[in-house]
Amino acid sequence: MSDIIKILPAEVSNKIAAGEVVQRPASVVKELLENSIDANSTKIKLIVKDSGKTLIQVVDNGDGMTKNDMKMSFMKHATSKIKDIDDVFSITSMGFRGEALASISSISNIEMISKKKGTDKTNIISLEGDNIVIKESVFSEEGTSIKVMNLFYNVPARRNFLKSDFVELRHIIDSFNRIALSYPDIEFNLINNDEELFYLKKNNLRKRISSIFGRKIDENLIPLNEKTSLAKISGFILKPQLSKKSRTNQFLFVNKRYIKSQFLNHSINNAYDGLLRDGYFPGYFIFLEINPTKIDVNVHPNKTEIKFEDEQNLYSIMNSAIKHSLGIYQITPVLDFEKEASMELPYNSQKNLIKEPAIEVDSGFNPFEKEKNNDDWQELESKIEDGIFDKINNNEEVDSPKIFQVFNKYIITTTGSSVIIVDQSLAHQRILYEQFLKSSVNNSSKSQKLIFPIEIELTKNQEIVLAEIKDIIDSIGFKFTVNERVVIINAIPPIISDNPIEEIFEDLLDNNSYNLKESFSLSDLIAKKMSKLLSIKNDKPLKLKEQQTIINQLFSCKEPKLSPFNKQIFVTLDRKDLDKNFLNG
């Protein structure tokens, strides 16, 4: 059998987008899985230890390599997939740069075993730094096994920079899922520390989606099918009811390659217009097939960005395809906001505001500070750093209302010398955030027992997230037991009693949320997430008492100026500045 890997001539390799491919274990996973796919494998097994830090192994039953190709594969710009520059503009394989194995082998120890189809020789190659050993092996199945060990062993800065095992495993699972979704006709396996996380049999796309994301998703999938001369669009979109507060369930593939595209994403979101609650994102698994000569994948080394020749037309084709599918499934009338009152209810926390203990915030949130009484307005005043609020209760205009709401969005109040305009939703986020953070730090939460415990069947992803965050959500008041993959929630934090508990619990287990935003701890991330989920929304009329509660509690927070996501909560208009406008009057 002949060798097929060649080093690309310089004039080709120079034109290929260069840059670092390996940022973390998940990048290695992506590259190795793509190689197995390009080798026509029908079964691919991914084995990792310590979330890839100790071992990443991919075993496939693909074409295999000759001894020479095995050696060649670790050279820079060595590839069997393209030959000249024209090929770069009609890529049909996942890889083409010939760089992945070269760069992976420069920062790890490697053992590759391969048997080329139709031959009877199996070879083993070991690489440790400059040390290369290649031997014949007695027996093996056709295909290739690559072990990548001790990633970044010689780049301590990189190694130390890796996140916790939990976060790295999440990234690995994301890479794995993206590839498993685009190749449902390949059998995949993922094993971490000897535990099988996924076993995905060869299947159709619909079954592949539900074997990854759980059975519940299946009944909410709407098929998508559109054929035009420019592109073929297929896959599934999720019913609007299953939309999420994060972009978790958004998967877009072009010629089976997972990509990110702002304009297509915009086109998809736009098609759902009027069907989603504020701040919610639709879910989708969309596959575009486009003539490879009409796209450019050579934009960035990780190949998740691509350029399209005809963006505008693609935008409208996508948009109408989705509207069409939504229409066929008659989602539109069901979601009529006039009729479907329940759509409004979930995050209505107005009731929570009236309930006294509900959003009680302790001014002495800082566990190192001695407790202060949050009813004592005078004492709170002195805490407010810049003194803007010194006279908040001492308004000169005694008879006028001190607090009112405008546009169902802002609460306006005054001090002796300024007007303060508070964004109600951001203010409430801050209040809730400090409350949740405090209860998880002090383990001081209260729980409210449920008369009817709630049962939720978890997906594998959710199970992994839950294992990581269970102590924290316990500390904020969720009491539950886990049996196999079923969670039984027995008690909840009292503040969420008027909300859809199941939905909130599942939002907490949403896999993407814990690594997107950087933060100093998981408790902090969870407090942020809870505050966002439960805060009152804009467009909500508030009673005077509620407005007062918000203002009082906001200014007894540690950091009343900024929301948990660092947005400015209020602005002040100084009387002096106002007066300037009227100098000539």
The CB-of-188 to ligand ADP minimum distance in angstroms stands at: 14
Look up residue 157 and give its two tokens. Answer: 């800065």
- Compute, in degrees rounded to 10, the torsion defined by CA atoms 123, 124, 128, 131: -50
Judged by DSSP in three states, 548 sits in helix
* Options 13, 35, 325, 349; binder of Mg ion; rule CB under 5 A: 35
**Angle at CA of residue 90, ends 87 and 96, nearest 5°:** 60
Nearer to ligand ADP (CB atom), residue 188 or residue 281: 188
Residue 102, H or E segment: helix 100-105
Q: Is 82 in the site for Mg ion (CB under 5 A)?
A: no
Q: Is 56 in the site for ligand ADP (CB under 6 A)?
A: no
Q: Is 511 in the site for Mg ion (CB under 5 A)?
A: no
Q: Are 289 and 231 in contact (CB under 8 A)?
A: yes
Q: Is 113 in the site for ligand ADP (CB under 6 A)?
A: no
* Options 101, 317, 403, 504; binder of ligand ADP; rule CB under 6 A: 101
Q: Is 62 in the site for ligand ADP (CB under 6 A)?
A: yes
Q: Is 81 in the site for ligand ADP (CB under 6 A)?
A: yes
The CB-of-157 to ligand ADP minimum distance in angstroms stands at: 24
Residue 80 contact, options Mg ion, ligand ADP, none, Cβ 5-8 Å cut-off depending on partner type = ligand ADP
471-509: burial string, b at 16+ Cβ within 10 Å, e else: ebbbbbbbbbeeeeeebebebbbbbbebbebeebbbbbb
Residue span 467-506 as binding mask against ligand ADP, x where in contact by CB under 6 A, dash where not: ----------------------------------------
The CB-of-155 to ligand ADP minimum distance in angstroms stands at: 19
Separation CA 389–CA 393 (nearest Å): 8
Interface region with ligand ADP, contact rule CB under 6 A, candidates 91-99, 408-416, 527-535, 564-572: 91-99
Cα separations in angstroms, 243 against 208, 221, 288, 465, 510: 20, 12, 21, 19, 12
* Options 13, 27, 36, 189; binder of ligand ADP; rule CB under 6 A: 36
Q: Is 39 in the site for ligand ADP (CB under 6 A)?
A: yes
| Phi, psi (deg, nearest 5) at residue 549 | -60, -45
Q: Is 367 exposed, middle or buried (0-12, 13-18, 19+ CB in 10 A)?
A: exposed
Look up residue 111 and give its two tokens. Answer: 């053992």
* Options 22, 46, 100, 172; binder of ligand ADP; rule CB under 6 A: 100
Interface region with ligand ADP, contact rule CB under 6 A, candidates 89-97, 340-348, 351-359, 391-399: 89-97
Separation CA 190–CA 251 (nearest Å): 20
Interface region with ligand ADP, contact rule CB under 6 A, candidates 76-84, 382-390, 413-421, 502-510: 76-84
Residue 421, H or E segment: strand 418-423
Interface region with ligand ADP, contact rule CB under 6 A, candidates 34-42, 131-139, 374-382, 568-576: 34-42
Residue 28 contact, options ligand ADP, Mg ion, none, Cβ 5-8 Å cut-off depending on partner type = none
Separation CA 318–CA 325 (nearest Å): 11
The CB-of-70 to ligand ADP minimum distance in angstroms stands at: 8
* Options 25, 29, 31, 122; binder of ligand ADP; rule CB under 6 A: 31
Q: Is 65 in the site for ligand ADP (CB under 6 A)?
A: yes
Residue 239 contact, options Mg ion, ligand ADP, none, Cβ 5-8 Å cut-off depending on partner type = none
Q: Is 100 in the site for Mg ion (CB under 5 A)?
A: yes
* Options 16, 28, 33, 78; binder of ligand ADP; rule CB under 6 A: 78
Picking from 499, 506, 501, the residue whose alpha carbon sits closest to that of residue 465 is 506
Q: Is 297 in the site for ligand ADP (CB under 6 A)?
A: no
Helices (H), 214-259: none
How many CB atoms sit inside 10 A of residue 215's CB? 10
Q: Is 46 in the site for ligand ADP (CB under 6 A)?
A: no
Q: Is 96 in the site for ligand ADP (CB under 6 A)?
A: yes
Separation CA 570–CA 60 (nearest Å): 57
Residue 65 contact, options ligand ADP, Mg ion, none, Cβ 5-8 Å cut-off depending on partner type = ligand ADP
Separation CA 428–CA 405 (nearest Å): 14
- Compute, in degrees rounded to 10, the torsion defined by CA atoms 375, 377, 380, 384: 140
The CB-of-307 to ligand ADP minimum distance in angstroms stands at: 19
Judged by DSSP in three states, 104 sits in helix
* Options 48, 55, 57, 63; binder of ligand ADP; rule CB under 6 A: 63
Residues that bind ligand ADP (CB under 6 A): 5, 31, 35-36, 39, 60, 62-65, 73, 78-81, 95-102, 144
Binding footprint of Mg ion on the chain (CB under 5 A): 35, 95, 100
